[in-house]
Structure formats: C-alpha cells, structure tokens
Amino acid sequence: MKRKQTRGNAGSAKGKATKREQQAALEPNAPFQKNEEVTVDLIGLTHDGEGVGRAGGFTLFVQGGLPGETARVRVMKLKKQYGYARLEELVQSSPDRLQPPCDIFKECGGCQLQHLDYAAQLAWKRQSVVDNLKRIGKLQVAGEDGHADAGIVVHDTVGMEEPWRYRNKAAVPVGAGDEGKLIAGFYARGSHRIIDMNDCLIQHERNDEVVRVVKRIARELRIQPYNEETGQGVLRHVMTRTGVESGEVMVVLVTNGGRLPRQPEWIEQLRAQIPGLKSIVQNVNSQATNAIFGDETRVLWGSEVIYDELDGIRFAISARSFYQVNPAQTVTLYRKAVEYAALTGKERVIDAYCGIGTISLFLARQAGHVYGVEIVPEAIADARRNAELNGIANATFEAGPAEVVMPRWRKEGIEADVIVVDPPRKGCDPALLDTILALRPERVVYVSCNPSTLARDLRVLEDGGYKTVEVTPVDMFPHTVHVECVVWMVSKD
C-alpha cells in the first residue's frame, strides 16, 4: 500500500511539474513587459503588411512599420516567441514611405500598403513570391542563393501605370453609427466595426457614387440597418458592379429576410439617381454568418445581368458571378496565361476552376478546343452563355468536381495537351493535383492568388514529374498585400 501511495504521490508531483513546464512554455521570452515602450529596428513585412521589428532578440509585429525604419513602439500583446506593438514615433523613416492619400487608411482594413511607394510595393510582392517558393515549395529560384542561371525565373511584378480607381465591384457592409444613423463602408482593421465611407480611392468612381446614393435613399426611406449582435434590421450589405467598358451598373441590396420595405420607392429613386443603371437585384440572407450572400437572389428591376468586355470578349455578369475586379490587369494576367499555354491552334486545353469562362474564352481564340469544368452549376450556365455571346464554338463546359469530370473526359478520348488551373486562395484540391499527374499534359499553367498555396501545389507537381519554368507576378490589387501569379510548367518527360 505504501509503495502504491508513494508512486501515486510521485505521479501527482510529476503531473504538477508537467503543468508548470507547460505554463512556462507559454510565457513570453520577451526582455520587456506589456505596455512598455521600446525602440525596434524594422527588417521586413509580414504577408498581412505588418512591419517586422527586432528588439533585444525578440520579434515584434508593428502595424504601419516599414523595412529599414527605426521606431519607438508600445508593446500591446506578448506571445512566447513574438509580440504585437503600436507605432508611437518614427526615429528613422524609410525612403519608400509616403503619406497615404486616403483619409481613413489607418483605420480601414481594405488597403494595407498605401504608405509604401508603389515601386517598392511591386518589389516586395515579387520577393514574397520568391520567399514562398523557396520556404514552402523548397524550389530553387534563379538569381537566389548564388544560383545565377539555374532554377525558376521569377519576373518582376507587372504593375499598373495608374494604380488607383481600378475596382469594378464594391461590396460594403451596412450598420448603425452614432445615434443609430445608417452607415456603410469597410470594417476597421481586425474588427467588425464599420467605418463610414464616402470615397474609396481604389474603387471605380461610379461604385462610390452608387454607395452614396443607396445610403441616402435608405436614410430617407428610414430603412433599418442590420445589427450583427441582435440579428435585427433590414439592410445588411450593398454591392455594386460597374461595367468599365460598357458603362452599365448593377445594384444589389442584401437584406435580412425576404421583405424589402418600400420597394417601389427604392426602384424609383435608384433609377432616377444612378446613370447607366441596368439592374436592381435583391439577395436574401437571413443567416447569422459573415458571408455576404444568401441562397435566394431576385431581380427587382431591369436585367439579370450587366455586360462588360475584356480584350474584345464580351461577358454577361450576374449578381453572384465571379468576375475579376481589376479588368485592366485581368487582361494582362490572362494574356500571360495564354502565352504560357503556347497554343498553335491544334491543342486540347482543359480549364479547371473555369468559373464563368473568362480564361477559357481567352484560350479558345488560339486553341483547337477548350474544355471548362467548374463545380458551381450557375457559373457553368454563365460560361455557356458567354461562349454563345461571343460566337465561340470550340469551348465545352461541364459542371462538377474537376477531379471527377476530367478522368471521365479522358475515358471518352479527350486527352489534354495543356491544363490550366485558377483555384481559390486555398489552392488546388489534392485530388485535382493527382488527376493532373495522371493525365500527364505537356504543359500546366497555374494562375494563383495565394503564393503560399501555390508553392505547396508546385512542390506536388514537381515531385510528380513537372518542372516549373517561369513565374510572372501580376499586381491585381495595388496598395493591398495581395499578388497574383501566372506559372508555366512543363512535363519533364
């Protein structure tokens, strides 16, 4: 009994020691305390655009800091190996620092890099791509680590001559401000507090005007803004699309429930106050969710779609269509994808994640035949409509998971010379990567909106027998941390 008791005590003491060790492992190793002011040297930027600072061998992330700066900061939060600090004063500024032209830049979470010179933004985005390829993909990049010629060629980021007013779509949350007044704008950084916005410098001017008009009408009609905490109120979001080439405008009112109070007045006033208005749509979202759209969409007035053009190809765009928000850079991106596909007019091309057929139709102008697959049936309906709209007969579209549809196409005798993928931020489904490796096309063109998942997927394809030749970063979203890439891969066979 004594032995058992001794063992029990020893086990108990050991358990307590383990808990102490676990607690110690969670305690910060910082040489300073929370709320203490320290001086840091900023050496980089995170993928979220925060400055990376070092002080006493400890890492602090500083919102608003830039590489090459020395700053006095206040420590706000400490973790085991890093912490977060607020910028109090710049001791030494970066030569690339600018005064942001937007009045609400420091509060708003929409842009992260307005305080950084545009040329420096482009350089940082290229370096971000390189770093991800090396760190996550374990890939060799030409010109890095002494490899002058060997490895993947990563080109300079393709920027815009005029990197403002480029967005053709705005989607803004609606809420209540001071004294319950209806406001609409963007969420403050790291929160769901809405900052009222009347002018956004990366939005097309007509989108700004539409948002101002909708707010004015909603206030005049005494429409109740949605309250996230209580689930009460009517108007949740306003979305507007502008056809940059066509001049056509769509307004989408996202409501909490199917009833839109004073609907006739809404339609009358929107039509009277918005030039070029072609479509007024209501989307119903009664769920307690961060998602903008609900499942039900109804046209209140006008057309179900508006039209726009990219490089001479006309597209019908519905309220929930995925359509790139920067049309000028979209043309650059897709032209590069077509270039990497190296088409001669005979190839069979499969476009996985084809959406409404944007890349597919670019490819179809130079391919023998293009086969587009997309899991969203509504997008496939749009793709077929867009092909017909442009008189393109050498494009076939089918709804379903690409990893299911593509093997069946192969059994039906459809062998792909080129496969193009343009996945969401989470990257390609592993089953799709396996399918690509099984189909063995001569070339793969990967269009990516996330360098980290791109690098992960390239590693899989490289291990499966492909070689990454070139990467071209394209700045689709100036003044934000996001960067798109087009990648050219060839079979090692």
Annotated catalytic residue 449:
yes
Q: Which amino acid is at 374?
A: E
Cα distance between residue 432 and residue 464, in whole Å: 13
Which pairing describes strands 58-63 and 82-92: parallel, antiparallel, or unpaired? parallel
Give the containing element (helix H, strand E) for 125.
Answer: helix 118-135
**CB-based contact 429:403 (threshold 8 Å):** yes
Cα distance between residue 105 and residue 200, in whole Å: 10
Cα distance between residue 407 and residue 439, in whole Å: 8
List beta partners, residue 305. 318
Give the phi and the psi of residue 479 in degrees, each rounded to 5: 75, 5
Q: Quote the tokens at residue 149.
A: 């010629």
Handedness of CA 307, 309, 315, 318 (dihedral sign): negative
**CB-based contact 488:470 (threshold 8 Å):** yes
The 3-state DSSP class for residue 339 equals helix
Handedness of CA 45, 48, 53, 59 (dihedral sign): negative
Point out the catalytic residue in the list 102, 108, 449, 485.
449
Q: For every residue of 59-104, which 3-state class applies, written as one string?
A: EEEEECCCCCCEEEEEEEEECCCEEEEEEEEEEECCCCECCCCCCC
Q: Which amino acid is at 229?
A: E
**CB-based contact 419:395 (threshold 8 Å):** no
Residue among 255, 245, 244 at smallest CA distance from 287: 255
The residues annotated as belonging to the active site are 449
